A and B are shown apart, each in its own frame.
Chain A
Amino acid sequence: MSNTAGNHYYVPNGTKWPFIGSVGLTTLIVGFINLLNGSENGKYVMIVGALILTYMLFGWFGQVIEESENSTYGAWEDKSFRLGMSWFIFSEVMFFAAFFGALFYARVLSVPWLGGAGDDADTNRMLWEGFQAVWPTNGPGELGGEYEVMAAWGLPALNTLILLTSGVTVTWAHHALKKDNRKHLIIGLALTVALGFLFVFLQAIEYKEAYHTGLTLGSGIYGSTFFMLTGFHGLHVTLGAIMLTVMLVRSMRGHFTSKNHFAFEAAAWYWHFVDVVWLGLFIFVYWL
């Protein structure tokens, strides 16, 4: 629980960053909305929004990093950060749960139903005659036309290996940090970041291949679940890799101590989360 009475909890002064963040986020979104509604200059609005957001991120995190380096935070504040980060990751897990839910629903329920399983013999007979429920599928309407199934044991298996290795290297870096071994910390982190971006790169190659063989977002429910799950995962890997890059730069600048390095741990947790999601993906999207 908390600490002894009389100890101060750091309550910061007013801050402009969140408001700027809202402005940036809204600008970005309004740009995207315009783009979706067919107005080309939405792109430029989006760029402006992204720039404002970047400015906000630098400003906000810059301030926090500075405070952290000035020992503004103690163990008490540290715990709040930890709680905040863990529950944030939990909410991310639930975001992925929605898409995994869609995947399971399609595989276990809707596709078999369309094929006439359960009470749905009439659905198949009267609406989708001749459709057979097999996974993967682009549905009885064969949306998106011919496509090829993504094999699990090629690039995806390699990517699994890469992510698992990066999980090891980041842990190694963490142990090094705890032992104040800055050199190993930096090497470990650099390796992790490199592996992260390698993963993203390979994923991009895989996407390119998929589109060449006809598998697109429009390839029915298989294409939809495949790209949405791996796509959001890829996005999170990119985010995680950026976070780790920041940690790498900070480590090189001599930030963090063996006792006080919450930011590093947060990024590492995030990395492990991304890792675990990938395992789920590998099993349910590629393998089974």
Chain B
Amino acid sequence: MNAHVADTHEHHGPEKGLMRWITTTNHKDIGSLYLWFSLIMFLIGGVMALIIRAELFQPGLQFVDPQFFNSMTTMHALIMIFGALMPAFVGLANWMIPMMIGAPDMALPRMNNWSFWILPFAGTLLVATLFVEGGAPASGWTMYPPLVLQTGAAFPMLIFSVHLLGFSSIMGSINIIATIMNLRAPGMTYMKMPLFVWTWFITAYLLIATMPVLAGAVTMLLTDKYFATSFFDAAGGGDPVMFQHIFWFFGHPEVYILILPAFGIVSQIIPTFARKPLFGYSSMVYATASIAFLSFIVWAHHMFTVGMPVAAELFFMMATMLIAVPTGVKVFNWVSTMWRGSMTFETPMLFAIGFVMMFTIGGFSGLMMAMTPIDFQYHDTYFIVAHFHYVLVPGAIFSVMAAVYYWLPKWTGNMYDESLGKFHFWISTIFVNILFFPQHFVGLAGMPRRIPDYSVQFTDFNMISTVGAFGFGLSQLLFVYIIIKTVRGGEKATDQVWEGAEGLEWTLSSPPEYHTFTVQPDVK
């Protein structure tokens, strides 16, 4: 161990103005950058969703052309997943992991800056496709060839923005892994780490194992289009379905990348407001690890209709169904944590409870789709759209909102407005169900996804869904308002903030110093 002199750099404040944000190496600054970026992307992706929903309000084409509609579907998904949700989780990781494990910062602070500062460039490249000849990519976020190869000038932009986004996530994940493995305070053993840290630790592995595979897949698309390779062309001995296998080898772990940190957040919040330790800590950790492991061997459940051999279909069906077991363990643990607690229902708790219920609903429809013979009926219908929005919106997005309400007082030193927060929860919950629940019905009744126009028997539920979408969208304006208001001022928060909160982050002041834990705490 070295004993180098404490250098003079140690006692600096941030630079001033814009340069502070461009050059920062501070995990809190970078966390904030990620979160703001994510919020902006959420609004952009949300507006695209509203265009989709507006067009689907009634049959016939009203506002957009089919080609543009498909672009909206594609861009909405890409922006929400890569621009809104993943950066939100990385932002939370940046803010909280060092504070939760008693680390002075992230392990590789300069690289941390780069992970963030690639995103705005990648996002701009992606959004810019809307303005080039031939329009934005319109092949769905899954980018299946041969269709995606018909994209116009936007094609290379799509490919390279995916590369950049992947590069950013990989660097971010490496940083998180290094931080967790190297910078835990003395006494903070692995099995003492808060669950948010644990779930992110595992998520980071999923990311570094799968993002490069996505990069490989889109690189093959690029060479197939411009350099005459034939990975996905039967005439040359390739196979369009090969892309789907490679894509979903990334894509399925990706959906757990979008949910594991959410599990972590909820596992922090529920014990706090139940005033009772988390039930089954170690089984939570093992369940997370099992989900991560299983996520690598279930990918082809997205491809049951491509004509795989029966044996493969059976294998992927059973492996997929198995995921319900560790996920169930988590749900049961949360319920048991609440059981015989002393509960209060502040906004973060409301969002966490909403998460558990509505995620479970989405999980159930996932289980239904896992059964191959019935997935033949569900596949590529709105039933699927309902499934994944339940796990993604009142699932993952709700968990982000819960986290923001939970930690905002710590970040800013100000309490948010509790009654506005509760109001935000209730209107969000009501509208999100109006938005997505009817989609189960139209899906079962036979409405395919990714269509700009539909036959008249689906009208009523689509109208309801669109009303829900606009209601849910408007409710999010309230969220933005609450955040800005809290950042600007408000009732001062205590260091502890929540009566039942436990963990190192609550021992710091609210807001915490620019540099915290420069001397690591001893954890008993």
Interface of A with B (CB < 8 Å)? 1-19, 21-23, 25-26, 29-30, 32-33, 36-37, 60, 71-76, 79-81, 83-84, 87-88, 90-92, 94-99, 101-102, 105-106, 109-111, 113-114, 118-119, 127-128, 137-141, 143-144, 216-225, 227-228
Residue from B163, B182, B230 in contact with A76 in the complex, judged by beta carbons closer than 8 Å = B182
Residue of A nearest to B133 (CB): A37
Interface window among B2-10, B339-347, B431-439: B2-10
If over half of A's interface residues share one DSSP class (helix, strand or loop), that class is named, otherwise mixed; here it is helix
Residue from B111, B153, B164, B237 in contact with A220 in the complex, judged by beta carbons closer than 8 Å = B237
Please give the distance in Å from A119's CB to the nearest CB on chain B: 6
Residue of B nearest to A97 (CB): B213
The reply to whether A88 and B174 contact each other, CB–CB distance below 8 Å, is yes
Please give the distance in Å from A84's CB to the nearest CB on chain B: 5
Residue of A nearest to B180 (CB): A83
Interface of B with A (CB < 8 Å)? 1-4, 6-7, 9-10, 12, 14-15, 19-20, 22-26, 103-105, 107-111, 113-114, 117-118, 121, 125, 153, 155-157, 160, 163-164, 170, 173-175, 177-179, 181-186, 189, 208-213, 215-217, 219-220, 223, 226-231, 233-239, 241-242, 245-246, 249, 307, 309, 515, 518-522
The reply to whether B105 and A2 contact each other, CB–CB distance below 8 Å, is no
The reply to whether B519 and A5 contact each other, CB–CB distance below 8 Å, is yes
The reply to whether B184 and A2 contact each other, CB–CB distance below 8 Å, is yes
16 A-B residue pairs with CB within 8 Å: A7-B520, A11-B9, A12-B9, A15-B113, A19-B22, A22-B117, A32-B160, A33-B157, A36-B156, A84-B107, A95-B215, A97-B212, A106-B238, A218-B229, A220-B230, A228-B223
A-B contact count (CB 8 A): 272
The reply to whether B234 and A140 contact each other, CB–CB distance below 8 Å, is yes
Q: A11-B105, A22-B117, A88-B174 are in contact. Are A138 and B236 (CB under 8 A)?
A: yes
The reply to whether A143 and B239 contact each other, CB–CB distance below 8 Å, is no
The reply to whether B213 and A80 contact each other, CB–CB distance below 8 Å, is no
The reply to whether A11 and B215 contact each other, CB–CB distance below 8 Å, is no
The reply to whether B164 and A106 contact each other, CB–CB distance below 8 Å, is no
Query: Which residues of A sit under 8 angstroms from B230, Cβ to Cβ?
Result: 139, 143, 218, 220-221, 224
The reply to whether B182 and A79 contact each other, CB–CB distance below 8 Å, is yes
Residue of B nearest to A6 (CB): B519
Residue from B10, B23, B216, B520 in contact with A95 in the complex, judged by beta carbons closer than 8 Å = B216
Residue from A29, A110, A220 in contact with B242 in the complex, judged by beta carbons closer than 8 Å = A110
The reply to whether B236 and A18 contact each other, CB–CB distance below 8 Å, is no
Query: Which residues of B sit under 8 angstroms from A8, Cβ to Cβ?
Result: 4, 6, 10, 104, 518
Residue of B nearest to A1 (CB): B184
Please give the distance in Å from A237's CB to the nearest CB on chain B: 18
Query: Which residues of B sit under 8 angstroms from A228, Cβ to Cβ?
Result: 219-220, 223, 229
Please give the distance in Å from B32's CB to the nearest CB on chain A: 15
Q: A25-B121, A33-B160, A87-B174 are in contact. Are A17 and B110 (CB under 8 A)?
A: yes
Query: Which residues of A sit under 8 angstroms from B519, Cβ to Cβ?
Result: 5-6
The reply to whether A144 and B228 contact each other, CB–CB distance below 8 Å, is yes
Residue of A nearest to B173 (CB): A87
The reply to whether A5 and B7 contact each other, CB–CB distance below 8 Å, is no
The reply to whether A140 and B113 contact each other, CB–CB distance below 8 Å, is no
